[in-house]
Amino acid sequence: MCKENRILELGKIFVSRRILAELTTEKINEVISWHKNGCIIMLGNKDWIEKPPHPLAEIVMNFYQADNGKDTIQLSTSVDDDGNRTTKISFSDESEDEQRGHFDWDICQSKRTPLKLGNVLCTICAKQLLGMPTIHRLIEKQLGYDWGATSVEDWIENDHAVEKDKRIVSQHFIDGESVFIITEADRSSTTIMLGYEY
Between CA 181 and CA 195 the distance in angstroms is: 10
Give the residue numbers spanning the domain of 97. Answer: 12-109
Q: Are residues 127 and 187 in the same domain?
A: yes
pLDDT tens by residue, 41-98 = 655 556 666 666 776 778 888 888 888 888 999 999 988 888 888 899 999 888 777 7
Residue 6 lies in a domain: no
| One domain, residues 101 and 135 | no
Domain-ending residue, one of 78, 109, 140: 109
- pLDDT value, residue 43: 52
List average pLDDT for each run of 10 residues in the chain, which is 198 residues long.
Answer: 63 90 90 83 60 75 86 90 89 80 80 86 95 94 91 89 93 94 97 94
